[in-house]
Amino acid sequence: MTLSPPRAQTSFRLSSLTFSVYLPTFLFSIGQGAILPIIPLFALELGASVAAAAVVMGMRGLGLILFDLPSGIAVSRFGDKGAMVAGTAMVAVVAVGASVTRSVAVLSFLMLVMGGGWAFWQVARLAYVSEVTPIEQRGRAVSLVGGVTRAGNFVGPILGGFLGKYYGLESAFYAQAVMGLAASAMMFIVVRTSSGSEDLGGHGIGGRLVATVLKHREIFLSAGFGVIAIQLLRQGRPVFLPLWGNAIGLDVAQIGLVFGISSFLDTWLFYPVGYVMDRWGRKWASVPSLLTLALGFLILPTTTGVYGFALVAILMGVGNGLGAGLVMTLGADFAPADRRGEFLGIWRFIGDLGVA
């Protein structure tokens, strides 16, 4: 099990990724954050039942899983830039279609495609950052991507809620389209032509994926299980905290305030975590993250009031923050230069299984 060799890019600066990665990520995340709380409400407005609205919301996650592997192939075939621009543009077009549809079935299909666009964007963006960033700065570069994403996801729901209240729920989809097109245009102009446009060879798509899995099976079987564990714990936090808060008699305002404080701490740990990963190694972020989250889950059932609940929520927020950008950084480290697209597509698929 070996990491990609360090690059000789001693003059690399994180600021060089501002307009090619960080600002497009911020814009795109604002758009995504704006529509996430709107999707189930919009489905209800179209006449869907509560159960059907939940299915519509879940289609986006299904699209992520289904398109992870094809997105890896697209990165190898068309390059990082082509896949990033295509993914963001796809989401923008889908958002316009969703805003005008009056069919729950069509909305479900569009959410599936939206998840596919998001998968293309994630895999291609990670491949690009992996390619241009030297390994000794990669932890900070990738964790900053996670921090910018969190910031956009914080701003987005506020924007979506305001637009939905005063201009109709469909206006949030227009906001997503504008943000997606802006991010796509910025990357098209700023991102240099990157690696890609490969000849897939006689083995075809399936053959390349199978060959990549077999060649790197030790990584997928060892680090892959760790990634699934991390994602399980991280996704359990937003599920079990509200449920336990409700079980011990807290009201919605108290649960929301506590969860907001927890998320705030989570958001602001991304750069220190990136520094730790670059300075001392990835395990000094991954192991504390897993242990802290696990400890939070163990203590949570013992809390009976708002103060104990808040302390555990803060502990879990710190644990989640300690893992900021970790999964992406490990994927970037392990990805081979000759099959980076396929490897990262499989890596994202493993991570998204943990999320699911």
* Contact yes or no for 74/341 (Cβ under 8 A): yes
Residue type at 229 in one-letter notation: A
pLDDT of residue 37: 81
Most confident of 42-51, 150-159, 173-182, 324-333: 173-182
Across the range 87-106, mean pLDDT stands at 93
Structure confidence at residue 301 (pLDDT):
94
Q: Given a cut of 70, is residue 350 above it in pLDDT? A: yes
pLDDT for 40 beyond 60: yes
Mean pLDDT, all residues of the chain: 86
Can you give the pTM of this predicted structure? Answer: 0.81
3-state helix, strand, coil in the chain (%, to 5): 85, 0, 15
pLDDT at 342 over 90: no
User: What values do phi and psi take at 78, rounded to 5?
Assistant: -115, -5
**What is the C-alpha separation between 192 and 30, in angstroms, rounded?**
24
DSSP 70-116: HHHHHHHHHHHHHHHHHHHHHHHHHHHHHHH---HHHHHHHHHHHHH
What is the model's pLDDT at position 202? 46
pLDDT at 183 over 90: yes
Residue 181: pLDDT above 90?
yes
The three-state secondary structure class of 306 is: helix
Would the pLDDT of 141 be above 80? yes
Residue burial 202-240, b: 16+ Cβ < 10 Å; e: rest: eeebeebbeebeeebeebbeebbebbbebbebbeebeeb
Does the structure show a pLDDT above 90 at 91? yes
**pLDDT higher than threshold 50 for residue 312:** yes
Segment among 185-199, 248-262, 292-306, 329-343 with least mean pLDDT: 185-199
